Structure 1
Amino acid sequence: MKNLVKLAAVVAAPALMIATPAAAQDSESYVIGLSGSVDSNCELIPEGSGTFAVDMLNVGNQGSLTILYSCNSPYTVSLESANGGMEHQESGGAVNIDYDVEASFLGIGIGATTTNSATMQGSPVVIVTDNDWSNILTNGGTRTGNLDLSFDSLSEYAVAGTYEDELTITLAANY
């Protein structure tokens, strides 16, 4: 009899678990979608426009210009020449003295690039690329550059008249 009671208890325990309904839990939720944005911000110093008198008889270093730049996104710095060189105005551009722009970190040769004005005529030439996603305070640099005239033939040198070009330095976000 004791065995029969034990057997009945062993069979009844699982039956109680199956027969007992689970207590239903009441639950509700509210989902909030969050969004935000930060506008692109690139800074180039100096900015705007300026003028520089090129010594058309000097084949050496014409001086230097230091630019500072920074962006809160990946960026490029590029150079573009309007005329592809110092265009002789009286000849309608028949004489065009190309020039090289040498640029490096603070003028000490680190990350140096040299670009010719004929190469960058109408098509910007990238001199710096930075692919970092950083804030504007840490994602920048400097370049110091100088301009050297390049007389390709003796017939170009010292032709009387006025010369013009427009060199554009562009800092652009890349995303």
Structure 2
Amino acid sequence: MNIILKAASAAIAIMGVSGTAMADKTAQTTYSNGLPTNVLGFNVAAFGFEALDLGSRYRQSSSTTANTETASTTVANSFTLTGVVTKDCSFYGGGQTGHTINLGVIGVRTGNNDNVSIAFNQRDAVTANVNSATAGCNTDNIVTIAKANGSDGLKNFTPGSYDSNQFTDRIPYAVNASWTGVAAGSTAAGTTQNLAVAFNQGTNALTGGAWRSAFNMDVNAPSQSKGLVAGTYSDTITVTLAVI
């Protein structure tokens, strides 16, 4: 008689558990005789069935160490970027900050047929213009225009002697400047800003927000009611853009 032995295959699954859950660690020994490990308080297993040569034996064991800390399913980090833009004002003046505008000969009535009441009077208004294509400040600022001679305007510093009822040694003038900007405290679209220094003023200023545009300045010195004493007439206009 033939005896056929069939051996059943055993599938062993090894599983690891992530996260906060922990699987039981394996520590198992099984003997084929099925004897208990403890009989009447006597630890039979302590003597070992293998030493008693009783049946077969199967053992399994495992060892693992838990996470160092509680696992997280989501982690987020934030990154703040920071930098500084320096305050600045610019005014293109052709590569220089000092300029001389030569008015040439300020014409007076020199005709011998003019009435005595207008002889030597200034013939026409004196005008000048300054225009910079690039000017402005990148923060709140104040634009100031100042005449060095104040309300005297163009002045003759060596007039000599003259009849003050008939002649003068100064030519008052007005300044009108304009650019595109905004009023202080505004974040609206830029509009035309105007700054004027009147004939009787020496200086004036305007505060506003950040702006960049062309800057235009007109100077107007109308004809005087008195004759002009001969000599050189001059004044200095200073335009200052300053951050606040």
TM-score, with length taken from structure 2? 0.44
Secondary structure at the counterpart of residue 241 of structure 2: strand
After TM superposition, list the pairs within 5 Å mapping 1:21-36 onto structure 2: none
Question: 1:104–1:145: 8 Å Cα contact kept in structure 2?
Answer: yes
SS of the residue aligned with 1:51?
A: coil
Identity of aligned residues (%): 23
Shift of 1:45: 1.4
Shift of 1:91: 3.0
Q: Decide which of 42, 65, 70 is 2:89's aligned counterpart.
A: 42
> 2 CA distance for matches of 1:82 and 1:41?
25
Distance in 2 between the 1:75 and 1:149 partners?
A: 29
- Say whether residues 1:142 and 2:207 are aligned partners: no
Unaligned 5+ segments in structure 2 are 1-69, 71-79, 108-122, 161-167, 181-191
- Corresponding residue pairs, total: 133
Q: How far did residue 76 of structure 1 move?
A: 1.9
The separation in 2 between residues aligned to 1:169 and 1:35, in whole angstroms, is 34
Quote how far apart the aligned CAs of 1:81 are.
0.7
Name the structure with the higher helix share: 1
Query: Following superposition of structure 1 onto structure 2, how do residues 94-133 of structure 1 map, counting pairs within 5 Å?
Result: 95-105=169-179, 110-116=192-198, 118-120=200-202, 124-126=203-205, 128-132=206-210
- Deviation, structure 1 residue 36: 5.1
**Cα distance between partner residues in 2 of 1:113 and 1:130:** 11
Q: Kindly state the Cα deviation for residue 35 of structure 1 after the two structures are TM-superposed.
A: 6.9
Distance in 2 (CA, whole Å) between partners of 1:100 and 1:91 is 22
The alpha carbon displacement at 1:112 in A equals 4.1
> Residues 53 and 74 of structure 1: is their aligned pair in 2 closer, same or farther, counting only changes over 3 Å?
same
The counterpart of 1:66, out of the listed 115, 128, 131, is 131
Query: How has the CA–CA distance of structure 1 residues 113 and 39 changed in structure 2, closer, same or farther, with 3 Å as cutoff?
Result: closer
Q: Which residue of 2 aligns with 1:56?
A: 106
Q: Contact conserved, 1:81 with 1:117, CA < 8 A, in 2?
A: no
Give CA-to-partner distance per residue, 1:35-73, whole Å, 9 cap, x none. Answer: 753321111111511100125336436232113312121
Partner secondary structure for residue 91 of structure 1? coil
Q: Name the aligned partner's letter for residue 100 of structure 2.
A: T
SS at the partner of 2:172? strand
The 8 Å contact of residues 80 and 117 in structure 1, kept in 2 or not, is answered as no
Q: CA RMSD in A?
A: 3.5
Q: What does the per-residue CA deviation read over 1:125-154, in whole Å, with 9 as the maximum and x for residues that have no partner?
A: 11x43224xxxxxx31223222111345x2
Of the candidates 88, 95, 111, which is equivalent to residue 156 of structure 2?
88
Cα contact 2:131–2:217 (8 A) shared by 1 = yes
Contact 1:59–1:148 at 8 Å: present in 2 too?
Answer: no
Query: Using a 3 Å threshold, how does the CA distance of structure 1 residues 148 and 65 change in structure 2: closer, same or farther?
Result: same
- Aligned equivalents of 2:155, 2:199: Cα separation in 1: 11
Q: Mark the runs of 5 or more structure 1 residues left unpaired by the alignment.
A: 1-24, 26-32, 133-138
- 1:118–1:36: structure 2 CA closer, same or farther, 3 Å change rule? same
Per the normalisation by structure 1, the TM-score is 0.59
**For the Cα contact (< 8 Å) 2:169–2:228, is it kept in 1?**
no
Q: Which has the larger radius of gyration?
A: 2
**Relative CO higher for 1 or 2, CA cutoff 8 Å, sep ≥ 6?**
1
CA gap 1:62/1:81 in 2 versus in 1, 3 angstroms: same
Which amino acid letter does the alignment assign opposite residue 130 of structure 2?
L
Instruction: Give the distance between the partners of 1:113 and 1:35, measured in 2 at CA.
Output: 37
Partner of 1:7: none
Counterpart of 1:131 in structure 2: which amino acid? Answer: G
